[in-house]
Structures are given as structure tokens and as C-alpha cells.
């Protein structure tokens, strides 16, 4: 069994690797670009959170704790072969459980981060294709965002699919193959599932040029502040609505070093399969928003001067996943 810190992907092996992705302590995924410099590091974790109701646009729910992460190659023979071919990591989720993704750059190094549910961009609803895209288009008389990345550290987290300006629909786990995931609703295929991640660092010379004039705020938002049997494959569908802006990337595509990107694949494992595959305890069941409110615990908001992108007509049409007693 490999220890935390084991490298899960290296794109090019040279005297100084162009990029690496590894799982470090405390269930955090680290993307590093040593050929650019020791400060060029992005860290990412996946937060368990409350499933918000769909009857209004809600404030940000808290992070309750981090999802457990494990290397897929440690469980050969207990998982689908295609998971091994994709490589990467896996995490357990209850059906209809919600998550948000936290980003932090310890030295405030800028990155362009692409997040996709299966092969559907969370920001635009378009299908995954190589490269960064910027700009807008007009669709049905309404301006549509084409930007397929999140500018980090300006964007400290993402909670879901960008359905309109300043509003997202929460990331919620759904079984693959039942037509509920965003991927299935928009492509008609239950092909990939999981979460795709690609990270592009800012070019070193651009970072140096910005160093004296650029500063940004970001923090981790946590509660104290915010077998041989085939496992059930999971993807991400849409949940309730949350006030959240997806910020415009004020940099050009040419500002990023697209020759040094790093990718990772995170497979979602149904909680019922987790203990059988890993031998680890099953995660506790999520609490409801109603229980959280009864306990008098806080909800959160976030303010930034950055301008936000418009929402996606494709994502606005996603049908939210219904919660039933059988979900968890």
C-alpha cells in the first residue's frame, strides 16, 4: 500500500520534471511544477458539505471535512480495469451527497484550472477538448461565457455548475448509467464519470512581471471558518442553487505555460463499495441542511472585486437530482 506523497502522475521525466501530481498528507492533491520554480505549487482538496435545498438561491454551505483519497493502483483486482487505465485517485461519496472543491496556492502562484464532471466543463457545459479557451459568444440573444478555466488563487473554490452569473448548481453524486449526471444529460452517454482536472501554471516571466502589482485573497473555507464485485460507478449531477461567482480570468491564454500542464482523474466510489474495496471504514452519513440549521451553525458568503463570467445555457437546463430516503 503506497504512502501519502506517492506521485500519481509525472508528465515528462527530465533532470527537473516539468510537472507532478501527488497525494500528500491530510487528503490533499498537490500539483507541482519544479521546472518553473519551488513556489509553483497548487493544492486541492474535496470537501464534504450540506446538500442545499432547491427552493431558493442559498448562501455557501460549510466544509464539514475532507473526503478520503486513495490511489487506484493500490486496489488492482477490486476496481474496473478502466480506472487503472485512467490512473489517479478515488474518493467515497454517498448517492446524492454534495461536495465542493477547495484550491490554494501556498505562495499565491497563479494557475488556470480546468474542472470537468466526466467530460463536461463545470464552467461552460461544453465537452472536454484540449487547451484553454477565453472570450464570449451570443447564444439565443444572451451572452455566453467561453472561458473554460478557473483563475486560481482568485477563485478559492468551486461548489458546482455555473448556470447563470453569480449562481451555481451544487455538485451532487449520482450513479452513472441512470441519466442523472451532467455528462449523461448533456451528451446522452454514461462514458466517463468522476472528475477530470487539468492545471496550467502562469509563465515564470509573467509571474515576475506581476509580482509587485498583483495580490489576492484566498483561504480554505472550513466549518471553523466556512472486491471482485464490480463497484457502482458515480458521476456528478446538479443539486440546489448557491450564490457563487465564477471569476473572469484576466490573463490571456498565452500568459500560461501550456507546455507544462498536469492532469489528474478522481474516480467517485459509491460509499457502499468503499469498505469492500479499501478495507477502510465507511464514511459517516451526511447530515441534512435542516439538522445543521437546527444546531444554529453558520452559513457563509464571500466577496471579491473580481468580475464574474456569465452562466451557461447548457448547464442551466440540467435537472437537479432528487433526494429520497434511499439516497443514503
**Within 10 A of 50 (CB to CB), how many other CB atoms are there?**
25
**Within 10 A of 143 (CB to CB), how many other CB atoms are there?**
12
**Within 10 A of 225 (CB to CB), how many other CB atoms are there?**
11
Average pLDDT (104-112) is: 93
pLDDT attached to residue 229: 53
pLDDT attached to residue 230: 60
Say if residues 104 and 119 touch (Cβ distance below 8 Å). Answer: no
pTM: 0.83
Distance CA 254, CA 144 (A): 22
Distance CA 110, CA 112 (A): 7
Distance CA 34, CA 44 (A): 17
Using 50, 70 and 90 to split pLDDT, how confident is the model at 323?
low
Nearest to 262 by CA among 29, 27, 76, 14: 29
In sequence order, what are the beta bridge partners of 21? 9, 31
> What number of residues does the chain have?
328
Amino acid at each position: 500500500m503506497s504512502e501519502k506523497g506517492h506521485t500519481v502522475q509525472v508528465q515528462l521525466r527530465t533532470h527537473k520534471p516539468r510537472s507532478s501530481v501527488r497525494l500528500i498528507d491530510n487528503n490533499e492533491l498537490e500539483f507541482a511544477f519544479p521546472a518553473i520554480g519551488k513556489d509553483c505549487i497548487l493544492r486541492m482538496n474535496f470537501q464534504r458539505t450540506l446538500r442545499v435545498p432547491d427552493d431558493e438561491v442559498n448562501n455557501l454551505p460549510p466544509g464539514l471535512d475532507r473526503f478520503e483519497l486513495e490511489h487506484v493502483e493500490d486496489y488492482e483486482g477490486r476496481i474496473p480495469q478502466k480506472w487503472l487505465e485512467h490512473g489517479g485517485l478515488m474518493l467515497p461519496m454517498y448517492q446524492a451527497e454534495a461536495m465542493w472543491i477547495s484550491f490554494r496556492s501556498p505562495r499565491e502562484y497563479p494557475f488556470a484550472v480546468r474542472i470537468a464532471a466526466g467530460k463536461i466543463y463545470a464552467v461552460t457545459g461544453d465537452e472536454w477538448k484540449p487547451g484553454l479557451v477565453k472570450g464570449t459568444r451570443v447564444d439565443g440573444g444572451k451572452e455566453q461565457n467561453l472561458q473554460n478555466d478557473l483563475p486560481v488563487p482568485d477563485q478559492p473554490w468551486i461548489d458546482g455548475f455555473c448556470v447563470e452569473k453569480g449562481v451555481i448548481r451544487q455538485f451532487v453524486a449520482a450513479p452513472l448509467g441512470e441519466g442523472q449526471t451532467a455528462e449523461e444529460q448533456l451528451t446522452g452517454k454514461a462514458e466517463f464519470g468522476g472528475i477530470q482536472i487539468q492545471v496550467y501554471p502562469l509563465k515564470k516571466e509573467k509571474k515576475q512581471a506581476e509580482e509587485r502589482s498583483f495580490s489576492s485573497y484566498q483561504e480554505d473555507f472550513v466549518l471553523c471558518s466556512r472486491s471482485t464485485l464490480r463497484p457502482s460507478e458515480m458521476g456528478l449531477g446538479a443539486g440546489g442553487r448557491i450564490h457563487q461567482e465564477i471569476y473572469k480570468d484576466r490573463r490571456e491564454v498565452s500568459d500560461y505555460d501550456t507546455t507544462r500542464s498536469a492532469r489528474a482523474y478522481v474516480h467517485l466510489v459509491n460509499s457502499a463499495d468503499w469498505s469492500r474495496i479499501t478495507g477502510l471504514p465507511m464514511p459517516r452519513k451526511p447530515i441534512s441542511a435542516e439538522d445543521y440549521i437546527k444546531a444554529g451553525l453558520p452559513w457563509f458568503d464571500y466577496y471579491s472585486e473580481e468580475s464574474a463570467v456569465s452562466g451557461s445555457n447548457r448547464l442551466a437546463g440540467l435537472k437537479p437530482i432528487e433526494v429520497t430516503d434511499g439516497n443514503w
